[in-house]
């Protein structure tokens, strides 16, 4: 039975209902951060409860959750709350993503013109990846992705690129975690392929989607990805070209590799990045 107080939000999995209490808690958490951002000094729990229009016990639950994430800091001497170091960390990441997106966009538009398919730019976010820029394909039927989309680190080419700076053992655990339910022989073959591709990202400069059981999230989408290098040669993002596999066939993916690699290196150069090993 549907709860009339539920609200519907859109996620990567489609429309999802959240209870009104959950929505209200999020709204209050955002409001609390805004209050502290506007305040000149840290505030007491009573101050925060009054600003939020809730009881001190409710305000305490919200502050405790935010403090665990480092977004709030509690001073046990003054018994006051202020913004935590986590806010600075998020602000720095947001600035870096914005700079990356603004620098990459014109090169992405060039790549879209060369391939006619959707081009997107992805960065790691812990165990997931976030889309920070998009240049939509010119076809009526095309791969659609929105800026801000949070997606799992599945075995797609983009994810493989983003895992290229991890250790071999970390990559192996990542692959096994995704293929946990696959048959042992099948999983071993996929693991070997993924390990080889991830290890070869810097040498080849590109990863293409192959027909493997690990690519289950979007079985009708064909994808090619290339690394974006930042300061010190670290891989900071994955540049991805994707389209329906009925049109973006193996031949067309292979044709897209050189323009993809060229634009990825151009973005890296514009960012002041160093590809490290030469890409062939």
Contact 133, 120 (CB under 8 A): yes
- In this prediction the pTM is 0.63
Cα-trace Rg, the chain? 22
Helix ranges (DSSP H) in the chain: 20-38, 45-52, 56-68, 85-115, 157-162, 168-178, 184-199, 201-204, 250-270
**pLDDT(211) > 50:** no
CA distance 205 to 256: 12
CA distance 43 to 262: 52
Domains annotated on the chain, with CATH: 7-83 (1.10.10.10), 89-270 (3.30.450.40)
Summarize pLDDT for 128-158 with one digit per residue, the tens: 899 999 998 877 776 778 888 888 888 889 9
**Following DSSP, what letter does each residue of 99-158 receive, concatenated?**
HHHHHHHHHHHHHHHHH-SEEEEEEEETTEEEEEEEE--SSSS-----TT-EEE--SSHH
Summarize pLDDT for 42-85 with one digit per residue, the tens: 999 998 999 888 888 888 889 988 888 888 988 988 999 998 88
CA distance 269 to 262: 11
């Amino acid at each position: 039975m549907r709860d009339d107080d539920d609200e519907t939000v859109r996620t990567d999995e489609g429309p999802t209902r959240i209870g009104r209490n959950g929505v209200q808690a999020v709204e209050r958490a955002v409001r609390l951060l805004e209050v502290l951002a506007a305040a000149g000094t840290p505030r007491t729990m009573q101050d925060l409860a009054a600003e939020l229009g809730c009881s001190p016990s409710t305000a305490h639950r919200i502050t405790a959750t935010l403090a665990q994430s480092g977004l709030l800091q509690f001073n046990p001497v003054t018994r006051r709350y202020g913004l935590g170091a986590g806010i600075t960390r998020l602000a720095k990441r947001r600035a870096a993503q914005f700079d990356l997106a603004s620098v990459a966009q014109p090169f992405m538009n060039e790549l879209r013109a060369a391939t006619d398919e959707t081009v997107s730019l992805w960065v790691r976010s812990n165990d997931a990846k976030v889309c920070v820029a998009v240049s939509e394909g010119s076809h009526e039927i095309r791969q659609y992705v929105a800026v801000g989309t949070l997606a799992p680190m599945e075995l797609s080419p983009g994810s493989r690129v983003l895992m290229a700076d991890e250790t071999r053992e970390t990559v192996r655990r990542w692959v096994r975690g995704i293929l946990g339910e696959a048959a042992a022989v099948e999983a071993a073959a996929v693991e070997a392929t993924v390990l080889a591709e991830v290890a070869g990202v810097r040498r080849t400069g590109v990863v293409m989607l192959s027909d493997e059981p690990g690519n289950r999230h979007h079985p009708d989408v064909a994808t090619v990805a290339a690394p974006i290098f930042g300061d010190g040669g670290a891989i900071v993002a994955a540049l991805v070209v994707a389209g329906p596999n009925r049109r973006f066939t193996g031949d067309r993916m292979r044709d897209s590799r050189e323009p993809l690699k060229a634009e990825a290196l151009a973005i890296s150069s514009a960012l002041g990045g160093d590809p490290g090993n030469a890409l062939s």
